[in-house]
Structure 1
Amino acid sequence: MLTSARPIARRRALAAAGTAVVLTLTLAACGSSTNSSSMPGMDHSAKASSASVSPSTDDMPGMDHMAAGNGLTDNTDGYRLTSKDMALAAGKQTPYPFTVTGPDGKPVTAFAVDQTKRMHFYAIRSDLSGFQHIHPTMAADGTWNADLASLAPGSWRVFASFRPDSGAGKGTAFVLSRTVTVPGTGTETPLPAAARTAEVDGYTVTVNGEPMAGMAHPMTVTITKDGKPVTGLEPYLDTYAHLTAFHQGDTAFAHLHPTTKVNGDHGGPELSFNAELPTSGNWRLFLQFQTAGTLHTAALTLNVG
């Protein structure tokens, strides 16, 4: 009896050990799957994003800090974008006054210089047409005034991009936004199909690369004119190009800067980017570059997988 029982007991022990190994691997796999902060394209809470993503992007040129988020809120970490204007006139230049208040509820008046400006202000129509990028002026009391060019009737979203130079948010990149209505009868402009090239003022802009949602991915922009490479790009906002992107459907915001080193008025023809667009779908890209003192804005639709 004792002789025959020993192999049985041994087999049971080995089976139990095997079960334990399988269980351990299963738990490890479950633990890995719950750590979604390392998985590109996943939706995370603001707390998880700031803890796991921001530090890794701070030292990477050409990328915005994740603290800026997608810009689809008028308040973050106690900072709020406020304005008394909920509607703006159509068909003419229109001033848009606004204020950024801090965690203490008071208007912020100290802003750090970012790309030669203390405030970058954007306007985009809900159909992703009518893009405007403005550098407003601030009064001593902290009231900013953005002079918007003629607006077509419809729903618009305006964005303020800035870095406080004092207080709890000192040095942090913020992008806050509000929606405004332009009264009147307007028609929605269909989003142009995704394309790799765009024409503006005789220049051809070509985008190469396959950005994936939530991942930093190399992307290049090449600028030519009459089939010849352009090598006379001038610095604009301390770089050779400024690229702003808006997501179709919710107008989520992102903006990217070239990693290409600035060397006088000799930029181009190719500019490199670390492109990180947070969600999949169609993005409308607006690339601004300067030649011979003239600013050009090229627009194209990019599909992100």
Structure 2
Amino acid sequence: MRTFTRLCAAAAVALVVAGCANPMADHGSMGASPSAADHRGMEMATGDGLAASADGFRLAIGKTAGPLTFQILGTNGKPVTSFEVDQTKRMHFYLVRSDLTGFQHVHPEMAADGTWTANLATAAPGSYRAYASFLSAGKALVLSQPVSVPGKASAMVLPPPTTTTTVDGYTLTVDSPSLLAGMSHPLTVSVAREGKPVTDLQPYLDTYAHLTAFHAGDQAFAHLHPEGSVQGDHGGPKLTFVAMLPKSGDWRLFVQFQTGGRLRTAAITLRVR
């Protein structure tokens, strides 16, 4: 397998694909809009999300200057164009720095030829991993590749494990039993503002909160599936998830929730034994 590194200067996000064999050629974009009512959970996904290929699918990152483009290739080497909807989207794309900062979660548009275009915000210099999370042919997969943003990087120290975090004046408190690697546990996140329970969470991706986790050191991926149904703009103050974190050590959790039409992201570190 031929390994190479390609340096690209970008107006939006400058990324260098590391260890990517046979990258796809650049293509144009044309939107694909799934039905918001049709969705399935990613709780079926297996593995830690660190492989570029699995179950006959392969992530091929292409254009990195400007909006990042990629394809999911099948066993015949051709782009896959049939995807099922998960939490209102056919593709969830993440970019996370190696020190577990710089988290981005976007929903790319797919062109007719199977090329996805991810519009990412400008990222700070450093080493990253890009993840594509999707459902296709009845399989739930998370594939990823390392990428980098050129420039002088300043690594951040991972905050220690805790039970509370704040964002934009909101306080999130995590309540969970001692987490054991490879086992499912209930995990509850309570949301408050100025000491008062928050009850006006708005739907985001057909739930009141979206939660993803990344393992310190190797950036293993885990999606924590929410429980309960959406009943208008009245979510909170407690959000319940099923947590199954496959490895011991520290995990950085990113909780995304929406209030007043604004999406917010809170981060917290949990220890798994």
CA-atom RMSD in angstroms: 1.4
- For 1:65, the equivalent position in structure 2 comes to 44
Large movers: runs of 4+ above 4 Å: none
- For 2:32, the equivalent position in structure 1 comes to none
> 2:68 aligned with 1:130, yes or no?
no
**Residue 171 of structure 1: CA displacement?**
1.6
TM-score by length of 1: 0.74
1:211 touches 1:218 (CA, 8 Å); kept in 2? no
How far apart, CA to CA, are the structure 2 residues paired with 1:63 and 1:119?
Answer: 11
Secondary structure at the aligned position of 1:64 is classed as: helix
CA 1:107–1:149 in structure 2 vs 1: closer, same or farther (change >3 Å)?
Answer: same
How far apart, CA to CA, are the structure 1 residues paired with 2:62 and 2:233?
Answer: 42
How far apart, CA to CA, are the structure 2 residues paired with 1:107 and 1:269?
Answer: 43
Identical columns (%): 61
> 2:108 aligned with 1:141, yes or no?
no
Secondary structure at the aligned position of 1:158 is classed as: strand
Map 1:1-305 onto structure 2 (within 5 A).
Answer: 64-67=43-46, 69-85=47-63, 94-164=66-136, 170-209=137-176, 210-305=178-273
Structure (1/2) with the larger helix percentage: 1
**Residue 102 of structure 1: CA displacement?**
1.0
Unmatched tracts of structure 2, length 5 or more: 1-39
Secondary structure at the aligned position of 1:187 is classed as: coil
**Residue 75 of structure 1: CA displacement?**
0.2
Unmatched tracts of structure 1, length 5 or more: 1-60, 165-169
Instruction: Return the letter of the residue paired with 1:246.
Output: F
Instruction: Return the letter of the residue paired with 2:144.
Output: S
Secondary structure at the aligned position of 1:122 is classed as: strand
Instruction: Return the letter of the residue paired with 1:103.
Output: T
**Residue 77 of structure 1: CA displacement?**
1.2
2:98 touches 2:128 (CA, 8 Å); kept in 1? yes
**Residue 84 of structure 1: CA displacement?**
3.1
1:124 touches 1:157 (CA, 8 Å); kept in 2? yes
Radius of gyration: which is bigger? 1
Instruction: Return the letter of the residue paired with 1:84.
Output: G
Instruction: Return the letter of the residue paired with 2:56.
Output: G
**Residue 256 of structure 1: CA displacement?**
1.1
How far apart, CA to CA, are the structure 2 residues paired with 1:63 and 1:142?
Answer: 21
How far apart, CA to CA, are the structure 2 residues paired with 1:133 and 1:227?
Answer: 29
Instruction: Return the letter of the residue paired with 2:213.
Output: A
Secondary structure at the aligned position of 1:104 is classed as: coil
1:258 touches 1:274 (CA, 8 Å); kept in 2? yes
Q: Say which is worse superposed, 255-264 or 267-276, in terms of deviation.
A: 255-264
Instruction: Return the letter of the residue paired with 1:238.
Output: D
**Residue 257 of structure 1: CA displacement?**
2.4
Instruction: Return the letter of the residue paired with 1:65.
Output: M
How far apart, CA to CA, are the structure 2 residues paired with 1:199 and 1:257?
Answer: 22
How far apart, CA to CA, are the structure 2 residues paired with 1:99 and 1:220?
Answer: 36
1:63 touches 1:274 (CA, 8 Å); kept in 2? no
1:62 touches 1:273 (CA, 8 Å); kept in 2? no
Deviations 1:257-283 (A, max 9, x none): 221222111110001111110011000
Q: Say which is worse superposed, 178-187 or 222-231, in terms of deviation.
A: 178-187
Deviations 1:8-62 (A, max 9, x none): xxxxxxxxxxxxxxxxxxxxxxxxxxxxxxxxxxxxxxxxxxxxxxxxxxxxx97
- For 1:54, the equivalent position in structure 2 comes to none
Instruction: Return the letter of the residue paired with 2:57.
Output: Y
Instruction: Return the letter of the residue paired with 2:222.
Output: A
Question: How many residues are treated as equivalent by the alignment?
Answer: 233
How far apart, CA to CA, are the structure 2 residues paired with 1:84 and 1:258?
Answer: 32
CA 1:62–1:146 in structure 2 vs 1: closer, same or farther (change >3 Å)?
Answer: closer
